[in-house]
């Protein structure tokens, strides 16, 4: 039963790699289910573990795929029967090395001429020796026993011993194949084959040929097993590694071929934030008693305090205005910030989006009515040309939008604040600061560049509640997560 539990723990690791969230408590529940139902009925096992370990349709789909791949073993194929000891036509199947074929040919010749001093009794004696000679090494005995399931169990145990689930790249396939073969007892088998060949008798060479054929077939089975382990572990791990790298890379360095992958990551990150912040809820501050509500609630008990009421704070959905510089130098950052915000439509229904390089334009309806990529392309085309002018953007914002800003509004500005030495008009940003709940400036450049050349962050920063370096998906996730967390 311990081995079954170890196997289940490995399977849980595979599920976690495939983005199925399995807690330690759920793992223990799965072990209890396994103890009750056993492993004889594969369908029952799959359905039972699915109920315990997967919670939603996406996880169930990932569970089914992982289960089928993890609990599939290639048994020895029928063609391997030539390596089994109860078959005697092996000299014709061509699986063994040339040196193992020599005694079979000699045996065939002996029946024709009889040679000097050789008779029917001697031939019968040697046939008897063929049947009585047995393998001495543990692996040799196992391979010639014909117990296919035991071979697979030993292979799985050896795989666990050499930690084949740590395979990272496909080129490690040969390395782990050799390690598993050695853990199964390859050295003892090789030594036995060498000793049999040194003895040189026909029965010994016959047995050596059988062992070598079984060994070669086992190596193919181990290769297949390692390859499956790669696709179970390394393939998903490689995908996760690629996602982690794309999260951290500067968005300005992304190539067009990476956009689809990054878009999937954005949606996945947004989905996580939605699951955390989707409900409008009240957070109760334990320890802060609401005297008025408590007294009112307990009047029916003649003033006895049976029902305590605690002070609470309502968490509401924030009202967001997002202003994005879509000029060439920062267009990628704006692309993914807007993608992020519109992926959160369930919990950010009041997002208004604006784009500019000089003149400011609202693109909220465009994003609501078009596909995300189409909306981004049109936004870049309509507003991404021309010389960057933050002063003109702020003037347009004051003329058309400032009246809609109130104490519940969060204003997010994404841009490098490079104004081509024009008038920054920071006093308008101060007006926004005074009216809004928060003003957040996200700058894709490192802080060391914020005061270099035509950058105006030194004038804009005092007019913001928060300024952040934001040039990767990790930064975007942190900023948006904080926005949702502290919204009141």
Domain end residue (candidates: 184, 214, 244): 244
Does 252 map to a domain?
A: no
**Which residue in the block uniquely carries the two structure tokens 């003033």?**
303
3 state SS of 283: strand
State how far the Cα of 328 lies from the Cα of 330, in Å rounded to an integer.
6
Q: Are 373 and 390 part of one and the same domain? A: yes
Run of H or E residues at 173: helix 173-184
Question: 410 forms bridges with which residues in the sheet?
Answer: 320, 438
Q: Are 216 and 342 part of one and the same domain? A: no
Q: Are 372 and 467 part of one and the same domain? A: yes
Q: Are 93 and 34 part of one and the same domain? A: no
Does 271 map to a domain?
A: no
Does 88 map to a domain?
A: yes
Q: Are 310 and 339 part of one and the same domain? A: no
pLDDT in single tens digits along all 488 residues of the chain: 567 787 788 788 778 777 788 888 888 888 888 888 888 888 888 888 889 888 888 788 888 888 887 776 543 333 434 334 443 333 333 333 333 333 443 333 333 343 444 344 444 444 445 556 788 888 888 888 888 888 888 888 888 888 887 777 777 888 889 999 999 999 998 998 898 888 878 888 888 888 888 899 899 889 888 877 776 666 555 566 667 777 777 777 776 667 777 777 887 777 777 666 555 555 555 567 777 888 888 777 776 777 777 776 655 566 889 898 888 767 778 878 777 777 776 667 778 889 998 889 998 888 888 887 788 888 888 888 778 899 999 999 999 999 999 988 989 998 899 988 899 999 999 999 999 999 999 998 889 889 888 899 999 999 999 999 888 888 888 887 877 765 53
Q: Which domain holds residue 14?
A: 2-70
Where helices occur in 200-318 by DSSP H, the ranges are 202-229, 235-248, 259-277, 291-297
Selection from 139, 255, 267 nearest residue 191 by Cα: 139
* Cα separation values, 84 from 223, 400, 420, Å: 20, 86, 82
Q: Are 88 and 235 part of one and the same domain? A: yes
Q: Are 234 and 329 part of one and the same domain? A: no
Does 225 map to a domain?
A: yes
Does 259 map to a domain?
A: no
Q: Are 396 and 292 part of one and the same domain? A: no
Does 211 map to a domain?
A: yes
- Interstrand relation of 438-443 and 409-414 (parallel, antiparallel or unpaired): parallel
Please state the pTM of the whole predicted model. 0.52
Q: What angle do CA 125, 129, 134 make, to 5 degrees?
A: 170
Q: Are 355 and 474 part of one and the same domain? A: yes
User: Residue 188: exposed, middle, or buried by beta-carbon count in 10 A (0-12, 13-18, 19+)?
Assistant: middle
Does 253 map to a domain?
A: no
Q: Are 309 and 401 part of one and the same domain? A: no
Q: Are 345 and 478 part of one and the same domain? A: yes
| Total Cβ atoms within 10 A of residue 65 | 11
Q: Are 471 and 359 part of one and the same domain? A: yes
Q: Domain count of the chain?
A: 4
Does 360 map to a domain?
A: yes
Task: Answer for the pair 226, 173: CB distance below 8 angstroms, yes or no.
Answer: yes
């Amino acid at each position: 039963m311990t081995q079954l539990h170890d196997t289940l723990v490995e399977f849980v690791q595979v599920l976690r790699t495939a983005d199925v969230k399995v807690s330690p408590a759920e793992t223990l529940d799965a072990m209890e289910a396994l103890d009750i139902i056993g492993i004889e009925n594969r369908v029952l096992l799959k359905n039972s573990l699915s109920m315990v370990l997967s919670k939603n349709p996406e996880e169930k789909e990932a569970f089914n795929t992982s289960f089928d791949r993890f609990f599939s073993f290639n048994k020895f194929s029928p063609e391997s029967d030539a390596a089994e000891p109860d078959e005697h036509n092996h000299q014709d199947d061509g699986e063994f090395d040339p040196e193992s074929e020599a005694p079979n040919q000699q045996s065939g010749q002996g029946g024709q001429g009889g040679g000097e001093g050789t008779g029917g009794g001697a031939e019968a004696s040697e046939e008897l020796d063929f049947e009585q000679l047995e393998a001495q090494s543990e692996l040799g005995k196992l391979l010639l026993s014909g117990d296919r399931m035991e071979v697979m169990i030993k292979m799985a145990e050896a795989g666990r011993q050499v930690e084949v689930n740590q395979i990272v790249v496909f080129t490690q396939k040969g390395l782990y194949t050799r390690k598993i073969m050695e853990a199964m007892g390859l050295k003892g088998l090789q030594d036995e084959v060498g000793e049999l060949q040194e003895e040189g008798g026909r029965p010994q060479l016959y047995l050596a040929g059988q062992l070598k054929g079984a060994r070669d077939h086992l190596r193919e089975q181990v290769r297949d097993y390692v390859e499956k382990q790669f696709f179970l572990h390394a393939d998903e791990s490689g995908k996760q590694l690629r996602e982690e790298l794309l999260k951290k890379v500067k968005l300005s360095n992304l190539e067009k071929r990476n956009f689809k992958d990054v878009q999937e990551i954005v949606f996945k990150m947004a989905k996580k934030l939605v699951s955390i912040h989707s409900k409008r809820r009240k957070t109760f501050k334990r320890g802060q008693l609401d005297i008025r509500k408590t007294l009112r609630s307990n009047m029916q008990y003649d003033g006895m305090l049976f029902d305590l009421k605690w002070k609470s704070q309502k968490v509401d959905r924030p009202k967001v205005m997002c202003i994005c510089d879509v000029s060439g130098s920062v267009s990628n950052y704006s692309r993914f910030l807007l993608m992020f915000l519109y992926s959160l439509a369930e919990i950010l229904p009041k997002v208004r989006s604006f784009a500019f390089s000089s003149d400011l334009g609202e693109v909220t309806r465009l994003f609501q009515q078009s596909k995300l990529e189409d909306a981004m392309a049109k936004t870049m085309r309509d507003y991404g040309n021309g010389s960057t002018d933050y002063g003109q953007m702020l003037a347009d914002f004051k003329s058309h939008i400032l009246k809609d800003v109130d104490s519940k509004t969060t204003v997010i500005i994404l841009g490098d604040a490079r104004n081509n030495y024009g008038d920054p008009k920071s006093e308008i940003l101060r007006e926004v600061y005074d009216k809004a709940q928060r003003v957040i400036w996200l700058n894709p450049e490192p802080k060391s560049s914020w005061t270099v050349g035509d950058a105006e962050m030194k004038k804009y920063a005092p007019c913001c509640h928060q300024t952040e370096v934001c040039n990767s998906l990790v930064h975007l996730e942190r900023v948006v997560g904080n926005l949702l967390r502290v919204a009141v």
